[in-house]
Structure 1
């Protein structure tokens, strides 16, 4: 008998699960509200990293003179200013997001997955009720349901976006003119990424941080490097400054801080975290337990507290990364359909902050070592001594490795620098496969290359 799987949500957790379930012979229906790909493709990961790609080019051009590259205008005089056409950038961003969404939908249909437009909810009897865009309802029978509804930007009553000058990170792609002065409220990953990107696009940026440093949840050494680079490039970082309210008067936005200070700009991006899309879905009535923040509680194979109901992605609050959402969705289907499954192991997840420089991490952290959760030897190697870094004019960044004393097994790492998201991969393999620092060191690296610093750091962890 064919198993019927209904997936509510078309983001990474949903569409990756759909591919697995279809491959394993299930009858699969994806109920989608906002567009296949979800926020990851349409309003978050794909758009923001496309914007950041342009910012990276601007960052590299800023250091071109050091490499002997000069720019000239048509008359032969030296060009002193490079400008970004934000309207063209955002048009490209939205087109790429739309194309990616269409491509994912085509692949789902190719695999035999049915796509239903509408909002799905549980009815408490193992079925899914879908309210269509026309207000009509249809009922889908399901042997298993996967909830992959994602999350939305958090706002406050005193800081309400208007879509024009007070913006969430989902609304910035409608800008057609460069802000003359941008204020970013929130110094977590999202806030730091947008602040870094717009700074490199030539826009004056003030970053309002309620904590004593940017990226309070990341490696402290990495955050210190980033903050030093941002301030050197002209960003105004207001640490230990909590936002009280954001208001607009005409073309001026005012951020009022709890200590009475005010910051004025032309635009403000609110990066205040996320809230799960779990309201009005019949979850609690169906026996699905939510935590105090409204996130769906799941175990390591993506099961909720309700029989036959799984959940994946940002709506679970486990770790808000597209890669984790996708893996949670795959694990759910592997588990339900009886395939080989390995429970989610967050210590093997690599992640990246797409600032300039990038910050990539995997495995155990410096904080865990410092507070005694994990005993590990640590080596940190600045990139400034790397031959390739010198050739490319890279002065900021480092490689940090953690390995177990005695066995020498690599249990974590941090890379700060250009394309750190790519450089972290050999460290991720070492962590995933329990390789020793010696094994990592003895693998050949290209000379000269940035990855040579990873091997060099591993060599410094060798013990006779």
Structure 2
């Protein structure tokens, strides 16, 4: 049977664009449908604009540091509208690059919602029905909000946080994951009275416990109010703002209440059921190691599969799909030892296992841990503290996990990930000569195994 296209891609985010470009470069006829702006979550409403906001928010501490180093710094003011304009201009430029890259590769782009009619037919708003031999779903994820929470209609998600007309004076952020904490640091750095409300016993679930505790302590030291073990029961709109009423009876008034309590795969109204595509309990597209769904000619990559929800992972999954399907080179992406960074202040970099996971899987492990004030802080009396931690398997001495909290942790962990991916051992790691004076040198100079303080003792 002849089809209109060799490949139809739903979603022009990082994974979909990479797969489309590589497929089109083989001469395949490729059509990409995007209902919003090209670039997806990362470029439009995620990593990229968030990092710009992180940069902006860091200057408050930079001015303080500058004074400590002898600079006379005049009173600084922040222009939120001016920043938004510059941010939006840059996002538009980057989105345009994605469009041009698709076009230069020979792929066709259409703006509109796409829905599967069957395994080979797609209905596109404004375009009508087209057929395709192969279909790739790369629609990413979306923020989740509790629809039944009284007053939730007055709250926002991270999507809207990028476009607030005015910088609020007070904000309540609901959630304890990396998105919640990154925005807490952003708003706090910009001078906003910031409160984090999280129902769990600690922040950053899934990260190493020492990292979680350290980040919570640093947040509070920086002025962020962190309220754990409770959650919002209702939101009240008043003449002076919004009131977040917690189930424990505590109430906090704010100008903005932002929910960052998780993201879910964006599989709504895509017609996946009509095509016979199986979904997981979380609504993600169920795929095998090659990103193939339960339907032979339909694949899915990126956050819509809910494997590891990171932009570089989506890109690698998209490339692996293209290699497998269009280059006759069966390729899978190895989801083991994928590093991640959390752009809190200070940053978090993590790769490999937490101590708890390592003990559960490997039994006996050795831990190397150090907490200290970085050199830059000690000079002027700053209080921000760094933490570095290695988790090592006893016997083999293989490093199972590396965790860093401190300046440039995201940059440091990228290099550490290479070594851990190659199976580095602690003796090999220690044989590396330190680069002095740096924070990263502490990673290769830890020799004493860490023994946690006895229960009830003062650390």
- Name the CA shift for 1:24/1:448 in 2 (closer, same or farther; >3 Å): farther
2:265 match: 276
**Alignment correspondent of 2:314:** 325
Q: Which of 2, 18, 28 matches 1:26?
A: 28
**Does residue 424 in structure 1 map to residue 413 in structure 2?**
yes
- Partner of residue 115 from structure 2, selected from 121, 143, 147: 121
- Using the TM superposition, name which of 366-375 and 25-34 deviates more: 366-375
Q: Aligned-residue CA RMSD in angstroms? A: 2.4
Q: Which residue matches 1:345?
A: 334
Against the structure 1 CA distance between its residues 93 and 375, is the aligned structure 2 distance closer, same or farther, given a 3 Å change threshold?
farther
1:452 counterpart = 2:446: no
Give, in angstroms, the shift of residue 147 of structure 1.
0.3
Query: What's the offset of the Cα at 1:338?
Result: 4.4
The answer to whether the 8 A contact 1:389-1:450 is kept is no
Residue 229 to residue 83, structure 1, CA distance change in 2 (3 Å): farther
Unmatched segments (≥5 aa) in structure 1: 73-78
Q: Kindly state the Cα deviation for residue 281 of structure 1 after the two structures are TM-superposed.
A: 1.6
**Per-residue deviation at 1:104?**
1.2
| Range with greater deviation from structure 2 (6-15 or 403-412) | 403-412
Contact 2:63-2:73 at 8 Å conserved across structures = no
Q: Does 1:357 align with 2:331?
A: no
How far does residue 183 in structure 1 lie from its aligned partner after superposition? Answer: 0.8
Q: Deviations over 1:340-386 (max 9, x none)?
A: 454333322111111001111111222202334565332112343x6
Name whichever of 58-67 and 141-150 sits farther off.
58-67
Give the Å deviation of 1:410: 2.5
Cα distance between partner residues in 2 of 1:429 and 1:375? 24
In 2, distance between residues paired with 1:390 and 1:341? 53
Counterpart CA distance in 2 for 1:174 and 1:103 is 22
Shift of 1:95: 1.8
Rate the CA distance shift 1:180–1:128 in 2: closer, same or farther, 3 A: same
Q: Which residue of 2 aligns with 1:155?
A: 145
In structure 2, the residue corresponding to 1:398 is in which secondary structure? strand
> What SS does the aligned partner of 2:109 have?
strand
Q: 1:101 aligns with which of 95, 99, 102?
A: 95
Between stretches 60-69 and 329-338, larger displacement belongs to 60-69
Q: 1:159 to 1:376 in 2, by over 3 A?
A: farther
Contact 1:410/1:430 (CA < 8 Å) preserved in 2? no
Deviations 1:281-331 (A, max 9, x none): 221221211122211112222111111111111211112211122122122
Which of 300, 303, 317 is equivalent to 1:311? 300
Is the CA contact (8 Å cut-off) linking 2:353 and 2:401 kept in structure 1? Answer: yes
Q: More displaced, 223-232 or 188-197?
A: 223-232
**Gapped regions of structure 2 (runs ≥ 5):** 450-459
Residues 23 and 379 of structure 1, relative CA distance in 2, 3 Å threshold: farther
Runs of 4+, deviation exceeding 6 Å: none
Q: Which residue of 2 aligns with 1:244?
A: 233
**Pick aligned residue for 2:134 from 132, 144, 151:** 144
Q: 1:349 is paired with a residue of what secondary structure?
A: coil
After superposing the two structures, state which structure 1 stretch, 21-30 or 273-282, moved more. 21-30
Name the SS for the 1:84 alignment partner.
coil
Which residue number corresponds to residue 235 of structure 1?
Answer: 224
Give TM-score, length-normalised by structure 1: 0.89
Between the two proteins, the alignment pairs up a number of residues equal to 445
Q: Does the 8 A contact of 1:388 with 1:449 survive in 2?
A: no
Structure 2 CA distance for aligned equivalents of residues 101 and 35 of structure 1:
7
The residue number in structure 1 matching 2:39 is: 37
Scaled by the length of structure 2, what TM-score is found? 0.90
User: Residue 388 and residue 251 in structure 1: after superposition, are their counterparts in 2 closer, same or farther (change >3 A)?
Assistant: closer
CA contact (8 A) 2:287 2:305 kept: yes
Q: Is 235-244 or 167-176 further displaced after alignment?
A: 167-176
1:370 equivalent to 2:359? Answer yes
Residues of 1 paired with 2:151 and 2:333: CA distance?
36
SS of 1:246's equivalent in the other structure is strand
CA-CA distance at 1:97 after TM superposition: 1.5
State the Cα deviation string for residues 403-447 of structure 1 (Å, max 9, x = none): 333333322211111111100022100121122233333334432
2:429 and 2:106 mapped to 1: Cα distance?
42
1:61 Cα offset (Å) = 2.2
How far apart in 2 are the matches of 1:160 and 1:5? Answer: 44
CA distance in 2: counterparts of 1:90 and 1:210, whole angstroms: 32
Specify which of 14, 19, 32 is matched with residue 16 of structure 2. Answer: 14
Q: Mean Cα displacement is larger for which, 54-63 or 190-199?
A: 54-63
